[in-house]
């Protein structure tokens, strides 16, 4: 697939078809992840792969609780002094699916990167984190090129350490995201996106 077709085709999916994925595709996608730029030349990240229902249920017990607790109707109907935003509509669609979008994906990929804890004192101190997000975007694009789609959940607060412990991730590594990967269900509701005007985003020479 042509590069810009891939970029335009990629979107986050939260509902998947009950159709298995050839593991060779997953390996090609991870190889694409490994081609990402790296801050320290080491590429010392790893991937944990979850395949069975038991593995996914065990890892994402916390996400399931959060999703089950979420009351969509209450959230959508909360009085607001302004019309509901696209971001809030996305949140209302995403929240009840935070567990099923991982459980129903034939594979879950969990990248782990070497960092004891995040240090956000300066932008450059976040290089390990920035690097793994380059890897993650390559994974998303490679999945789209393979005709697949991804869900993504960022572990929320203590969820990070809970899952890290369950999966026996070494103390010197962190988990940036959980990625569900599979064939997108074409019947999933497509949410309206916000696309900024590129001409308004570009500032030549300086901000103003
Ligand atoms: C840093 C980051 C964190 C995100 N966290 C979540 C998440 O926890 N759960 C979720 O369902 N989607 C999450 N998303 C997906 C966004 O909701 C999605 O990318 C956005 O709505 C734009 O849609 P698109 O990916 O289809 O273009 C996240 C995306 C990014 C880049």
pLDDT by residue for the chain (208 residues), tens only, comes to 899 999 999 999 999 999 999 999 999 999 999 999 999 999 999 999 999 999 999 999 999 999 999 999 999 999 999 999 999 999 999 999 999 999 999 999 999 999 989 999 999 999 999 999 999 999 999 999 999 999 999 999 999 999 999 999 999 999 999 999 999 999 999 999 999 999 999 999 999 8
Strand partners, 153: 178
Which protein residues touch ligand 1 with a CB less than 6 Å away?
11-12, 14, 90, 94, 152-154, 193
Strand partners, 184: 16
Mutate to test the pocket of ligand 1, among 15, 154, 176, 191 (most ligand atoms within 8 A of CB): 154
**How far is ligand 1, taken at its centre, from the CA of residue 12, in Å?**
7
Rounded alpha-carbon distances, angstroms, from residue 193 to 62, 72, 90: 28, 20, 9
**How far is ligand 1, taken at its centre, from the CA of residue 152, in Å?**
6
Is residue 107 within 8 A of residue 51, CB to CB? The reply is yes
pTM for this model (two decimals): 0.97
**How far is ligand 1, taken at its centre, from the CA of residue 22, in Å?**
25
- Assign domain 3-186 to its CATH architecture: 3-Layer(aba) Sandwich (3.40)
Measured from the CA of 154, which atom of ligand 1 is nearest? 8
C-alpha to C-alpha distance for 182 and 184, rounded to whole angstroms: 6
Identify each DSSP E strand in 51-166 by its residue range.
Answer: 107-114, 149-153
**How far is ligand 1, taken at its centre, from the CA of residue 153, in Å?**
7
Helix axes 61-69, 159-166, angle to 10 degrees: 150
Q: Read off φ and ψ for residue 21, nearest 5 degrees.
A: -115, 135
Q: Read off φ and ψ for residue 180, nearest 5 degrees.
A: -90, 140
C-alpha to C-alpha distance for 202 and 38, rounded to whole angstroms: 27
Q: Rg for the chain (alpha carbons), in Å? A: 18
Q: In this structure, what DSSP letter does residue 40 have?
A: S
Ligand 1 atom 11 nearest Cα: 94
Ligand 1 atom 29 nearest Cα: 152
Q: Which residue has the tokens 């991870």?
A: 30
């Amino acid at each position: 697939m042509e590069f810009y077709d891939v970029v335009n085709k990629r979107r986050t999916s939260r509902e998947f078809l009950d159709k298995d994925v050839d593991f060779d595709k997953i390996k090609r996608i991870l190889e694409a992840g490994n081609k990402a730029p790296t801050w320290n030349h080491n590429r010392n990240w790893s991937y944990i792969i979850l395949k069975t229902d038991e593995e996914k249920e065990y890892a994402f017990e916390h996400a399931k609780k959060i999703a089950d607790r979420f009351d969509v109707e209450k959230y959508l109907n909360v009085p607001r002094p302004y019309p509901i935003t696209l971001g809030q509509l996305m949140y209302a669609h995403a929240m009840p699916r935070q567990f099923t979008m991982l459980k129903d994906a034939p594979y879950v990929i969990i990248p782990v990167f070497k960092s004891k804890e995040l240090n956000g004192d300066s932008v450059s101190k976040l290089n390990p984190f920035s690097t793994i997000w380059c890897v993650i975007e390559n994974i998303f694009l490679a999945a789209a090129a393979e005709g697949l789609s991804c869900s993504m959940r960022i572990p929320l607060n203590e969820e990070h350490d809970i899952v890290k412990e369950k999966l026996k991730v070494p103390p010197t590594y962190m988990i940036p995201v959980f990625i569900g990967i599979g064939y997108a269900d074409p019947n999933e509701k497509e949410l309206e996106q916000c696309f900024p005007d590129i001409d308004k985003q570009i500032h030549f020479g300086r901000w103003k």
